[in-house]
Structure 1
């Protein structure tokens, strides 16, 4: 475990590991987003407000996404306590970013779909940001697999996990997923003429299913019926996302999808 990365420029200021990789992920995502926007010709200045909406919405919901943990509201932390000391939620951040984008579009009148710009950017940003989680947070449940992470006494005491016991590197699984997703979007899906915005929907659907499964080895608190709170949230949202994809399929939205082959395109089934 590496909660800090040493001193910043030798001035005696510790660099928070988690924050450093989150910032690195945001910068990488921004670079990919700008590249895709230019490649697709989406250079309307209003798109900057859409990005700001995503960042603000994601930041707010990431911090407050774990606030409502008890039906009795008196058992939850105050909003101020949650903001200052509460756990961060990637799922909450994604929901907040989605809401922020739609609010920004409504305020600015920007109507062009932006999901195809966000999909590769978010995938790469998530892969990099999760490195910070891997280096600082509770790895996962005990495992007999050879790639398990074994904590020393100090790391075990800090994370509340047993020392000397191999643990699932659940965040490494997520990093691998997002890297594969980024590669698939960058070299395959972006070459296909899918309906505008659908690339992001596919990515979110795939991540939601993957995250539901990886929660079984994450080690989060079981909330109800053997499921964690993220799994309960996903149990309600996955059918909605899959239903949207099915609706698009049934209305024939993917029927005319094409794949680029040099300077020409040929129809392919999807």
Structure 2
């Protein structure tokens, strides 16, 4: 039962080859004057929710303009032929758009906003929320602040679905990811720097449970010593070659 753990924590993550900037890369250019906690923390949200919503709205628009790359497509093909569980740090939807079912978005998703007050998941068929998140024509300036939609249930503000600094991972997603690597025969660690915990601890969990761990990354990382095999290539190059041999 092969399981795939994918993440986009460095410039070599699987979605980077679709042109999607990682969180820190996305703070360059128009948004270089803002610190990580201005844009991705409960404190930043309380201080300026319009700024935070506008920035995530911009990120969602960039994702919607991007397409799954060969790495995403290879995983989707593999999943049609074998039991492949995908646990990802990515907050985009490129795995799904390539045709994969994702077991766990452990750092949340740009496309699963929820109420900051009552916690109820927003329905994307609500026209106000849908227009805010899925509008492909969004163009945002550096200092543009966009008021978040109101929760139709309690009137609170709808917040982005990504996990922020200082927040716990969604319990159900994390348990699913951890259980998958414990049960796996093979775990691929694709594109991660291995510095963001607890996700970075999954290769060690897999090794202790008896799985073979393979790292696909063009550079040495903090989890390289946990891998049984290390392949110095990118996801969009390596994954199609791997799946073609199966």
Between the two structures, name the one with larger relative contact order (CA 8 Å, sep ≥ 6).
2
TM-score relative to the length of structure 2: 0.28
TM-score relative to the length of structure 1: 0.26
Rg bigger for which structure? 1
